[in-house]
Structure 1
């Protein structure tokens, strides 16, 4: 069935739709998420269907505050340190499930852990408080494509497939949350909007890295992901014939993530610029080198997945 996708500007009607088991895209500080009631098998299945997302890829649940965590998951000692330091914020923690969590097994993809986040955007937290529900919310775009950082981006990919979009303007961070797991030690599962170095300072020791070829335990771990329509070549000093150059720093480029070499600006611009290249019909995209420090680690992660061979 084709839906008419409404644009909403206040959280109350959005919360009402979510309570009815409907799908609503909403803004966070990172990207727009496609929200559904995480307690409802039907709502979560509808998220997977709207995105065309493989069901072995788990979802993040979004909560309004730390007090809600114990209903669904256990905070380990290390997780509690990070929760107190960085929530609300662009950090997702993969935690052991509570005994009577009530979450749809589709959320966790059958795992005994759940990915949890408290977003740092007042509009998002207002929505979550009004629902008083755990809201499962992957990025609000077709699976594998470029993530949305405006309401229009959501409509470009999902109009007619979801019930509504809560428009909160452009997302400030522009990259998905950093994901940390704890099996058995704090492990970086996905770099993102919170730099790894900040997490390691809070813990007092380095994060472990997942084993190569390990099973998917959190969102954003698929090899090919965040892809524009064109092919992507990384670490390009210049464009080859037929390529469009996505630059960084003081380079002559068709489109530049940050002419001044500011990684925060580059992160905020990444998905928007990839969408602009799609709109311009770029079929071969070359990307300037990005420093692999701070937010550059997350930018490079997204670019490597965008450049990966596609199935």
Structure 2
């Protein structure tokens, strides 16, 4: 007959929940020395009280600790329901308070943004491309996927003599973003070095390979953009993700008295309420 603990886990139908709970349970078993599912019935309140300190020492944030305690509580609630244990030892254990800063996307200060943009050094193809990518993210708040989908032609749009970027956004929606002169100059430098400026239908930003015939035709990937930002920012001492550059752009526009409706259009949000929520979380 299968132990009640295994039965509880088998009843979790959501794949993401199963994965998160599996990590929590495996970690808790290592912490308490549990070898078999049935040994959960020996867990005491003292074990659970000691857990947050252990997790905190491993630099896990308050949200993660709360989620892990919730998972354990769900297990013991089930064991109580099945009369496998007499009480839930997680009940009443103090959980970390919600940090008002948790879950926020950090925006860079002006000096950090300048340092990041200056980080790629040299006039070879890779640093020229990296600098152009960082400029697009910093000046135009594009999502990673949006940047990766840019074609050479998308960079060549004009309206009344003003250069624009044509951006393929979420939900198949297209938007036109005025091209910042600094970003435009860096992209021109990159295209001149890369040599595919006449390939209008091809990807604007391409994989850099020693074998240019097979490498340059393929567009860069969102994961590649993420790693690029993490690498340069990490070397500067403030490791961030690409989304922080989007937050930096939005913050900068609002600091310069831009209308929130204009920022909404610029970010490609379908609803202005989304823009307000994002701004409040910065």
Bin of the TM-score, shorter chain as denominator length = under 0.3
- Normalised TM-score (structure 1): 0.21
- Normalised TM-score (structure 2): 0.22
* Structure number having the greater helix percentage: 2
Bigger Cα Rg: 2
* Structure number having the greater strand percentage: 1
